[in-house]
Amino acid sequence: MPQGPLPSDRDQRHAALGAIVLACFGLILLGLVRLQILQHDELKRLAEQNRIRLDILRAPRGDIRDRAGRLLADSQPSFDILFRPLPAESLTRARATIDPAWLTRIAALVEDDTADVRRRVREANRSGQTAVLRRAAPYGVMAAVEEFRADLPGIDVQVSPIRHYPEGMLAAQLLGYAGQINDGELSTRLDRGYRMGDLIGKNGLERRYEDVLRGVDGAEFVVVNAMGKRVATLSEGPPRLPVPGHGLTLTLDLDIQRALEAAMSNIERGAAVVLDPRDGGVLAMVSKPAFDPNEFSVGISSARWKDLNRDGAYPLLNRAIQSAYPPGSTFKIVTMMAGLRDDLIDGGTHFPVGCAGGYFFGGRRFGCWQKSGHGNLDTKAALQHSCDVYFYQLGLKLGLGRLETTARAMGLGEKTGIDLPAETRGLVPDEAWYDKRFKRGKWPRGVLLNLGIGQGELLASPLQLATMTAIAANGGRPIRPHVVREVAGVPTFKVDKPIEAGIQTDASDWDVVHEAMRLVVEAGTARASRVEGVAVGGKTGTAQNPHGNDHALYVAYAPMDAPRLALAIVAENSGHGGSIAAPIAGHVLRRVLLGDSTHAAPRVPPRGSAPADSAEVIGD
């Protein structure tokens, strides 16, 4: 029987190869089925356990130092308790957002209100940004969170920089504080790279120089598991390290600041400023009551906030630049200069009506602070003894225009332009202001009497009074009050030019003012501010206050032959400038100029108590 042809070796090889290929494809198919169907749930769980997350490395803010390089503010490491949003497909995210037991447990651990924790967690889940639940957590809180973190999805502990003020309450309102950004601040700064949990300057220098002090955050990619716990750092690239903010060197002198703080320690409410009359640098600034900015760096409770602001204390208010007071008799320096520069008076001018304790004008008697009267004084003696009757008459002779122009030229009635936020303008009324109040041309000339002695509608901040005194000290040259002297790494930084015009007049006019201010201290109402061996020029003031006892004021500069200190002091509701404010200035001047630290701060009667009624000690 015949047989067909046998397959060739070539055909056999093709068949074997085809079988192998089919077998391989079969194995691949089986593997896919196994991965996609049989092991789907297990592999999904394993994939969820390892994810890549971008962690932000917070940049420390720039340091703040006084003119000698002594530290006033820096950044220190602290432990923050964070909530990091979990992956959208993670079942634990829903639990972290809505589970009351989780929220209650977290709130207890971070020692915060449950509603506040819920708000921050929900906002973090919505925005995808990390939320800070507790900044600068104590070791006990941090340890408790670490102990239970495996059972707390989304919770993490991170080391972050926090603002630290080594001098505590010293210069608190000037420095300000940096705290956690709030929702309103964040909504206006999202385009500038701010995130939830960032620090931001809230007031003072921290706020004014926020863009300078703030650093550039770094970042790194980390591998985390499904509970948000960090497993490893991604090795594909190094982290981007944070860049600290620029440091500030201030004009502030820590020694003078401490002296002023000590002198004002018994003042319940008030403010004081010391300027360098040569360039306008702020050497010291105090506002009472004060606060400790370290408290605000970590956040304070509602109860603590209410305690700080009880009885209208408002410690965050910088009374040195944000409060305005009637300048009282300190304004007589302006009235006197206005008369001298327009040749209406000279150093020996007497007015026809002497002081018998009051002055009659328009059917009304305007009293002098010295009820027994001063007699008929010349210009210098009138300032020396602060005779109201003399300056009533000078105010009438000057008229509103001359008074207003001179006051503005000496730094009153407008912001000084200091590099601090929320400065007040004060008030120097002009004709338009009175026309608006009394109708055009209807305002009484009697307002000039009050303006001449620094009362009436005049208002000035302690900083403006210090500026006025500095301009008087340097013979009319304008200055620009400023706090920052240098910005590290910014060589182009410079202080702006003065806003006020200063006073252009004969040097002999200033000689009269300076001699009169010297007499005020040597044998007038400011004898309590005398410094042995140093000539001091000053002027006391007592400003009427419709809401309580008078405010005590004092302005001074020293040494008179080469002025390097110009100061202004306001003690609210404390009495007379000569008995309250002048001793404070004397304490500062003796401590700074003579190095005398042996005397205690001047004693001050409790705010609201009646002052002593002695001509030897009260003074205007």
Using CA atoms, how far residue 378 sits from 382, 391, 505, 521, in Å, is: 6, 11, 21, 17
Over residues 7-15, mean pLDDT: 67
d(CA 417, CA 427): 15
What percent helix, strand, coil does the chain show, rounded to 5? 40, 20, 40
d(CA 432, CA 81): 58
| Residue 237: predicted pLDDT | 66
Catalytic residue among 78, 160, 329, 529: 329
Pair 556, 263: CB distance under 8 Å: no
pLDDT single digits (tens) 72-123: 999 998 888 888 877 654 545 545 555 788 888 888 888 888 888 888 888 8
Tell me which H or E stretch contains 514: helix 507-523
10 pLDDT exceeds 50?
Answer: yes
pLDDT single digits (tens) 39-70: 666 655 555 445 677 777 889 999 999 999 99
At 307 the three-state DSSP class reads helix
| Residue 310: predicted pLDDT | 80
d(CA 479, CA 564): 13
Specify whether 329 is catalytic. yes
| Rounded to 5°, angle at Cα 162 from 82 and 172 | 135
User: What is the Cα Rg of the chain in Å?
Assistant: 36
617 pLDDT exceeds 50?
Answer: no
610 pLDDT exceeds 50?
Answer: no
According to DSSP, the β-strands at 282-288 and 270-275 are: antiparallel
The CATH code that applies to domain 51-240 is: 3.90.1310.10
pLDDT single digits (tens) 120-154: 888 888 877 788 888 888 888 888 888 877 777 78
Read off the pTM: 0.85
What is the residue whose two structure tokens read 């004709």? 431
| Rounded to 5°, angle at Cα 176 from 172 and 182 | 140
Pair 420, 205: CB distance under 8 Å: yes
Pair 332, 354: CB distance under 8 Å: no
**Which residue has better confidence, 14 or 376?**
376
pLDDT single digits (tens) 180-218: 888 888 888 877 888 877 889 999 999 999 999 999 988
Using CA atoms, how far residue 490 sits from 99, 253, 311, 486, in Å, is: 51, 22, 44, 8
Pair 581, 542: CB distance under 8 Å: no
Long-range contacts of 88-93 (CB under 8 A, 24+ apart): 89/48, 90/48, 90/153, 90/226, 92/153, 92/154, 92/226, 92/227, 93/125, 93/153, 93/154
**DSSP label of 357:** S
Helices then strands, each counted (H, E), the chain: 22, 18
Phi, psi dihedrals of residue 604, rounded to the nearest 5°: -125, 135
pLDDT single digits (tens) 543-574: 887 777 899 999 999 999 999 999 999 999 98
| Residue 149: predicted pLDDT | 74
| Residue 336: predicted pLDDT | 98
pLDDT single digits (tens) 286-335: 999 999 999 988 877 778 888 888 877 899 999 999 999 999 999 999 99
Over residues 498-513, mean pLDDT: 92
d(CA 102, CA 382): 76
Q: Does residue 441 come out as left (phi exceeding 0), alpha (psi in the -120 to 50 range) or beta?
A: left
Pair 314, 322: CB distance under 8 Å: no
User: Which segments of the chain belong to CATH 3.40.710.10?
Assistant: 254-477+502-593
Other beta carbons less than 10 A from residue 551's beta carbon: 26
d(CA 302, CA 298): 13
Band (pLDDT 50/70/90 cuts) for residue 485 is: very high
463 pLDDT exceeds 50?
Answer: yes
**DSSP label of 476:** T
| Residue 6: predicted pLDDT | 52
d(CA 275, CA 498): 14
| Residue 616: predicted pLDDT | 38
User: Which segments of the chain belong to CATH 3.90.1310.10?
Assistant: 51-240
| Residue 118: predicted pLDDT | 85
| Residue 206: predicted pLDDT | 97
Q: Which of 541, 554, 617 is nearest to 587 (CA)?
A: 554
What is the residue whose two structure tokens read 């385009």? 191
Check: CATH 3.40.50.1970 for 254-477+502-593?
no
